[in-house]
Amino acid sequence: MDGVAGAQGAPSHQLQEASIHGTVLDSAGRPVGAARVRLEQKGNPDTVATTTSDGAFVFSGIRSGTYQVSAEKSGQHSSVVAAIASPTAQESIQLVLGSSQLSSSPSSEGMAFADKPNFTVAGITDWTAVGGHGSDASLRTSEALARETTTLMPESAGHGTFNTSVMSADKEAEAKLRAALAASPHSFEANHQLGEFCLQAKSYREAIPLLETAYNINPANHDNEFDLALAYKEAGDFSQAREHIQNLFNHEDNAGLHRALGDLDETMGDSLESVREYEQAARLDPSEQNYFAWGSELLLHRAVWPAAEVFKKGSEIHPKSARMLAALGAALFASALYDEAARRLCEASDLNPADPAPYIFLGKIDIAAPSPLPCAETKLKQFLEETPDDARANYYYAMAIWKQQKGTENSQKMQQVESSLTKAVIADPKYGEAYLQLGNLYADERDSDKAISSYIKAIEVDPQLSEAHYRLGVVYERRGESAKAKQEFQLHDEIEKAQSAAIERQRQEVKQFLVVLQGRPTVH
């Protein structure tokens, strides 16, 4: 609805009324009259006000909470700004027409999403409309990378290093918290602090009664109720988790609540609502975590181009995030932009050389891509130099060298391939893929005894490795052992049939997003 400066936003009977006011300026800092200012909040209709001749606007009589404000006039638009409405503080913001950068209101810690995304997740569609290009091997690789992307951890979370001093400190802290609770069993602080400790330690069932007790003592403490909702969610009590999150929305609207609700929706299978909650979280607070959650959800559900757009924007805002660049690489690979995907993964490895994830992603897409990728061999060599005893580092470096040598088979380089693959199986005797590639190497060299030995070892450690059965069958057939060859071919066909059926079921379970791009056809 349209209004004038001073237009009333929400109905006046709502409690905790507040206001937001500010000024619209042009790029030279001059006030802009007759500009349209839009106020948005999830679940409520937009409100529009018009600025006075001195560029001023005000939204009064609105409910406390977080809003998004933007202005436009004569085709020029301002950035979208997050603004907090509170009855105890007057929010004053400035909107600059023609601004293309992210801005934040003076009293808001976060920045708003600069421009609305040029796509809309309109619904879901059948998995047969799956996005991406290339061979089935490339598609399977991109689907696997999408799942693995969701597990990437921020650098601040570390990579599983066991620190005995930290563990000792945690034990000491836990003992003090338990002693405090024993001394004051009806204390809000004692119950809340031990409950929060158990939540962080992933002892969710133990955390719940402590946080419940704290909630009953002081239901107005929103931090405690949020912790309680998270504990319920992790313990599998989704209805209780949703009830507490929705209750918190009655008091405030913030990015953390939207992200938590998005996590809950995804866990409960409502992926469409989940992606919308993640988008709203990123709009309210474009943190690394919120952008990553939004992009990961899009990628998981095969909206590969929108995912790439979100990860690209996220990497511009958070240029030090290695996992954002790795995720962008996965999205670009799914979009068949193989060289660009490799470059982003190489950049991610430069940001955090100790993190194996970008190297592993790079190794996987280099194997699946139709031709060698730029920087892949160099970066995988760096991975090997940093972790010479890592089975994956040896395996992916070997495969990168081999791919570069296809058609030339430089003897010295092929010796490097054999050496690295051998080191991979020594480092990890259960590495079926490495045994398989050793078999392929020996088969190319017409060393059937070594090839058979490697294929048999691959099958021993991974009986479902269908290619090993097929390759073993080929070697047996060359040696004239047709009965053995027939048996291996039959096993290959049976495994492939079962695996294809499993992949089809998995694809049907993962809902595909139906995406509308502005000014372009519907895509998936």
Cα–Cα distance between 139 and 146 in angstroms, integer?
A: 11
Position of tokens 């001093």? Answer: 165
Cα–Cα distance between 312 and 287 in angstroms, integer?
A: 14
Residues of the chain with pLDDT under 50: 1-15, 99-114, 129-134, 158-167, 519-524
Cα–Cα distance between 393 and 362 in angstroms, integer?
A: 11
Give the number of other Cβ atoms within 10 Å of residue 500's Cβ: 12
pLDDT at residue 124, as a whole number? 80
Give the number of other Cβ atoms within 10 Å of residue 361's Cβ: 28
H, E, C per residue of 162-199: CCHHHHHHHHHHHHHHHHHHHHCCCCHHHHHHHHHHHH
pLDDT at residue 364, as a whole number? 97
Computed over every residue of the chain, the mean pLDDT equals 85
Domains within the chain, CATH numbers bracketed: 17-116 (2.60.40.1120)
Q: Is the dihedral of CA 129, 130, 135, 140 positive or negative?
A: negative
Contact (Cβ atoms closer than 8 angstroms) between residue 58 and residue 19: yes
The C-alpha angle 405, 409, 413, rounded to 5 degrees, equals 70
- Using one digit for the tens of pLDDT, what is the confidence trace for 232-263? 999 999 999 999 999 999 998 999 999 999 99
- Using one digit for the tens of pLDDT, what is the confidence trace for 343-361? 999 999 999 999 999 999 9
pLDDT at residue 168, as a whole number? 57
Amino acid in position 68? Q
Give this prediction's pTM. Answer: 0.72
Q: Which residues of 210-225 are buried (b: 16+ CB within 10 A; e: fewer)?
A: bbbbbbebeeebeebb
**Residues 6 or more apart from 314 whose CB is under 8 A from it?**
286, 288, 291, 292, 295, 321, 324, 328
Contact (Cβ atoms closer than 8 angstroms) between residue 324 and residue 314: yes
